[in-house]
Amino acid sequence: AQLYEAMNSTFEHMPLACLIGGRILSMHGGVSPHLKSLDAIREIPKPLTDPISHPLARDLLWSDPMIGLKGFRENRVRGLGVHFGEDALLDTLAKLQLQMVLRGHQVKPN
């Protein structure tokens, strides 16, 4: 139980995204309608004990792309984060002056 608590405490202090070479944004999940600037990521409070309560943190961790979707919509598959379409991704890249997003996961149907 102590090791479990120590690991969770460590995650509360870890960054939720990183910028690679000033052009690639990497995160576990995906982009968010709350992602207005790179500073918005830097301003996420630490320790982050409940990422679900912080909309941008939640989306960075749990959002997924959806082929054919326009914009953003609630991620009903995962129950957290948003689904985002190609247009939302391209708009976010342009707004943040980035080249690409590198994601760490994708939910797959059973």
User: Tens of pLDDT along 32-65?
Assistant: 999 999 999 999 999 999 999 999 999 999 999 9
Contacts 24+ apart (CB under 8 A), 51-55: 51/16, 52/80
Buried b (16+ CB within 10 A) or exposed e, 34-46: bbeeeeebeeeee
- Other C-beta atoms closer than 10 Å to the C-beta of 80 total 16
pTM for the predicted model, two decimal places: 0.89
The tokens describing 104, both together, are 């760490």
* DSSP-assigned states of every residue in 17-32: EEEETTTEEEESS---
